[in-house]
Amino acid sequence: MKIIVGSRESRLAVIQSELVMEAIRRSHPEIALELVTMKTTGDRILDRTLDKIGGKGLFVRELDAALRDGRADLTVHSCKDLPMELPPDLPIAAFSRREDPCDALVLPAGAALDTGRPIGCASARRRVQLQGLFPGVEVRPIRGNVLTRLQKLDAGEYGALVLAVSGLKRLGLESRISRRFSPQELLPAAGQGILAVQCREGMDASFLGCVQDREATLCALAERAFVRELGGGCSSPVAAYAAVSGASITITGLYVDDAERTSRGTAQGPAEQGEHLARELAKKLKEDALCRAK
């Protein structure tokens, strides 16, 4: 049996795909694996923010096509980069164990935070929260993969970056972290730190049991349900973070209205009801924001 794994061609994407492939090799040595990389539309267009060019779907379009035409049997993604609405013929077959879900402040090598230079980040979610953490400091969009962003930082274009801890750790760049923001300080993106593996509808993906993680699955589904309920995407400053403890799940969500007034709240209940709890929390936060706006 041979399985072809499709991946974006960035170093981080390849490392993440190899993590999934290594898990499969350990449990199923009889499966031959091949990695195929490709540049997506989102990787090619770097002079505009995602909300201006079509959203997160631009990072999966070519990979989805490869699944459909048989050039790939599986594709591996950072869960936070997947669109909230997925085609039914390309289901998520597994969510990996979660790496650190938090965001990190990264400074130029050997330098302190220069508040006269902008903080670079790639999402509205981070921008809104950073403006509260660092009042008066400019927050400016930045595109490109992690290594490209670090090059721009070290060249003096930015005073700091905010990047996912998980990506830095997987790249072996944990030493670049100057400050780790707790979820209470800066709420992560839905699915941050989790890898999602997609396949074709009807494919026997039972061998991915070696990748699948129960807690990460419950958290990813709840967090994505929260964002989906609010119609959130790459241009929407929506955030959600869930944590499982035993049979219970706690979900914290952030909703930001058009005037950038924030509503934040938490819901807790049975872990298996996480998606329902998340949707109800999203509705409540939106209603609270509407009431405050009147």
Instruction: Identify which of 42, 190, 192 has the alpha carbon closest to the alpha carbon of residue 104.
Output: 192
Residue 233: how many other CB atoms lie within 10 Å = 19
Q: Which of 81, 154, 257, 288 is the catalytic position?
A: 81
Q: Please report, for residues 32, 61, 209, 264, the alpha-carbon distance to residue 24 in angstroms, rounded to integers and kept in the order given.
A: 10, 25, 9, 39
What are the start-end ranges of the H helices in the chain? 11-27, 41-44, 50-53, 61-69, 124-133, 146-154, 165-170, 214-229, 274-293
Q: Scanning the structure block, which residue is given the tokens 């220069």?
A: 114
Q: Which one-letter DSSP state was computed for residue 108? A: -
CA distances from 12 to 8, 70, 164, 183 (A): 9, 24, 12, 23
By DSSP bridging, strand 103-106 and strand 177-181 are antiparallel
Is 69 catalytic? The answer is no
Strand 2-8 relative to strand 74-78, pairing? parallel
From first CA to last CA, the distance across the chain in angstroms is 61
Residue 207's nearest CA partner among 199, 217, 216, 218 is: 199
Q: How far apart are CA 179 and CA 162, in angstroms?
A: 10
Compute the distance between CA of residue 60 and CA of residue 259 in angstroms, rounded to an integer.
31
Annotated catalytic sites, by residue? Answer: 81
